Amino acid sequence: MLDTDDLERRLSGAIASVRTEFASLRTGRGSASMLDPINVDAYGSMTPINQVGTVNVPEPRMVTINVWDKGLVGKVEKAIRESGLGINPQLNGTIIMLPIPELNEERRRELSKVAGGYAENARVSIRNIRRDGMDQIKKAKADGMSEDDQKFWEGEMEELTKKYIKSIDELLEAKQAEIMQV
């Protein structure tokens, strides 16, 4: 038999992963999640920024980080500068302010391509999960599954694949519209 629960869980995981990647893409507005991919060398290990300070979004074009340990302020600032977000941190004691600059047309296109790459990676994951499902069906057929059952499960697998790929395409479309919005 086909373990549809496991396949659904893995397919949902691919969707959740692409959502997280999309959230890290900066549009014209600030969000706390845009700092999620950035890690800081704190106390000998790489630590997410939200574990060394409080991240706030006091206004749409400003993100602040209140770093708890004064000794880490420089490391957090350096991590943000080197992250490729294109944001110039400003220090105010233990508070790091991140003014979000307006995106220019070229940067919007660039971010749109990055979003497309994330979506393509998610589609590849989904196709790999589909292949695993099809392999399970072939194995079940070899173990005595009827041909009608095989066709049924292959159809189910195709439907699941189409549903999840459509979901990724819709997420990508929404993210690209958000990026291109001036």
Domain ranges, ordered by start, for the chain: 4-23+104-180, 29-99
The pTM of this model reads 0.67
Inform me whether the pLDDT recorded for 85 exceeds 80: no
The encoded tokens of residue 12 equal 């949902």
Interval 103-148: pLDDT, tens = 788 888 888 888 898 999 999 999 999 999 999 999 998 999 899 9
Q: What is the pLDDT at residue 1? A: 65
State how beta strands 95-99 and 90-92 pair.
Answer: antiparallel
Instruction: Answer yes or no: CATH 3.40.47.40 is held by domain 29-99.
Output: no
Beta bridge partners of 46: 41
Beta bridge partners of 53: 67
Tokens 């499902």 locate to 133
State how beta strands 53-59 and 62-67 pair.
Answer: antiparallel
Reference 164, options 113, 116, 130; nearest CA is 130
Q: How far is CA 173 from CA 17, 68, 118, 144, in A?
A: 16, 38, 12, 43
* Class (C level, CATH) for 4-23+104-180: mainly alpha
